[in-house]
Copies of this chain bind each other. A is one copy, B any other.
Amino acid sequence: MAERSLIFPAAEYRDRVARLQDQMGEQGLDALFLTAAADVFYVTGFLTRFWESPARPWFVIVPAAGDPVAVIPTIGVELMGRTWIADIRTWDAPDPADDGVSLLIDTICGLVPDTAQIGVPMGLETHLRMPLADYDRVSAGIAPRRFVDGTNAVQRTREIKSTAEITAIRTACDIAGRAFARVPEFAGVGRPLDQVFRDFQAALLHEGADWVSYVAGASGQGGYGDVISPASADPLQSGDVLMLDTGAVRGGYFCDFDRNYAVGEVSDAVRRTHAALWEATEDALSALRPGMLACDVHRMLCEGLTRRGATPGGGRLGHGLGVTLTEWPSFTPRDTTPLRAGMVLTLEPGAMVGDGRMIVHEENIVLRAEGAELLSPRAPYDMVELR
């Protein structure tokens, strides 16, 4: 068990904490206070699906120097004890009278001085995974120490993936690639979409996913209307484009890419649009370099589509990826995050095919000094046909 629950050797986590502490130093933070599953996993290696239960909060404090401290419910002690974290403090949660609040206050006050500024991720794409009323109690209890915005320290660290992380994401991508290759075995004319979703999830598990945190998709004549719906029981029909999109998880790391399939005979408009998406992606794969901004990628993908006569659709045309299905930055016109070597990203251009119908294409890459390196097996230029 030890190996699987630690996920990576302790040196990997020590390096992450050192990088977090560098960021904290730059930003004048005396500690980070982490509550979200992804941040806790990132620092400790504590991997469990138990986050699905909203009953209990979990806390990790990363001081400006020294090792992190975990303040967690008793039910997690054995699993946290198998990670590299040595200082684990616990209480019997859920406790309506004091759900870790006083233990947390004691721990924080013992770790950082009165003057401390403690970073909490509170910016874009974050949330606080604990009851708000308890956060206010902790905030009052640690005064004059103060909670301040620590988003930047966490995001600038986590967005640069280590070699081990890139390997993990590539493994998840390979698993999904093999599952996508098996779609013709279970999808075709007359097959209900919800059954296709189930079979696709089973294929992902069979190919090695530990679990399947995300499957979405759609099927419609000449394209689809949205990309986040659960599946209907409607049967696939000739002329449909079937899209499947997955965030399958292996060792706590996600892939996030989709594939489009032609159900029977699809229209020329569909074929042309898919080709434009593929080619615009190819352009971006060639052109991407560290130093560009997130908004540059959005523009590049839009221009690539427009140049080929396609109409860009969808809001964000890609994003970060790793410990969660999606991470910052976002390829939108307004995101000016600089791209850096070591970022793992999705390229996700969408294009309209007539009124309210679209096709969305997606690949996963790691950005190197010299440019993009694919992590997902490249989609075929022509959509695979399903009969």
Contact = CB atoms under 8 A, between A and B. Distances in A.
Interface of A: 1, 3-5, 36, 38, 47-50, 52-55, 57, 73-79, 92-97, 99, 120, 122-133, 135, 149, 151, 194, 197-199, 201-202, 205-206, 209-216, 225-234, 247, 314-316, 319, 324-328, 330, 332, 334-336
Nearest to A73: B315
Copies in the complex: 2
A78 B225 contact: yes
A315 B126 contact: no
A325 B52 contact: yes
A126 B122 contact: no
B232 A4 contact: yes
Among all A-B residue pairs, the 10 with the closest Cβ atoms: A122-B132, A78-B226, A50-B228, A53-B326, A202-B202, A1-B232, A122-B133, A198-B205, A52-B214, A52-B325
Nearest to A203: B202
B201 A5 contact: no
A126 B131 CA distance: 5
B74 A315 contact: yes
A231 B123 contact: no
Given A75-B315, A229-B5, A325-B53, A127 B128 contact: yes
B330 A55 contact: yes
A315 B226 CA distance: 43
Contact of A79 (B49, B194, B229): B229
Contacts of A194: 4, 210
